[in-house]
Amino acid sequence: MRSLHQHDLNQGLGEVYLPDALARKYPGAATSPGWQFLFPASRPGVDPRTGVRRRHHVHDSVLQKQVRKAVHRAGLIKKAGCHTFRHSFATWLLENGYDLKMIQSLLVHSDIRTTDIYLHVVENWGDIIRSPVDLN
């Protein structure tokens, strides 16, 4: 990412879009490495908001295609994709004692019933739930 950013700067590019308030608060941030996309697009394009040519983040479909290829190369027979990581993360959070409301917030579910679906995958609640007496 850094070398690509430096290349863009050398070409007169290398500036990300920042909303007005951020652009005013941090005038040099748009060209700073810390504000660049971690997964940048392979080539710059014209920003429809401003008409400025700049590099945006990689499109979602690029990651989806790469995950699909990896699943195929790994010989997995189960259906798996990017959304599988989301389910795995939610399950991991539950198994590690995070509460349902926090998970709902992290996954940006508007309805707790959507998050509640993950409860069925946790098999051994005894390993997760601790009595206050056991903590001392």
The four Cα atoms 31, 34, 40, 42 give a dihedral, to 10 degrees, of: 50
- Together in a domain, 15 and 43: yes
Residue 20: partners with Cβ closer than 8 Å, 6 or more residues away: none
129 lies in a domain? no
pLDDT at 135: 74
- Together in a domain, 86 and 112: yes
- Together in a domain, 113 and 77: yes
- Together in a domain, 117 and 67: yes
9 lies in a domain? yes
- Together in a domain, 96 and 119: yes
Let me know: does 119 contact 103? Beta carbons within 8 Å: no
Low-confidence ranges of the chain (pLDDT < 70): 124-129, 136
Q: Which of 15, 30, 54 is the last residue of a domain?
A: 54
pLDDT at 127: 64
Q: How many domains does the chain have?
A: 2
pLDDT at 136: 67
Distance CA 27, CA 15 (A): 11
Let me know: does 33 contact 5? Beta carbons within 8 Å: yes
- Together in a domain, 67 and 92: yes
pTM: 0.58
17 lies in a domain? yes
- Together in a domain, 81 and 103: yes
Tokens, residue 136 = 């001392």
Domain with 87, as residue range(s), is 61-124
pLDDT at 95: 84
pLDDT at 56: 92
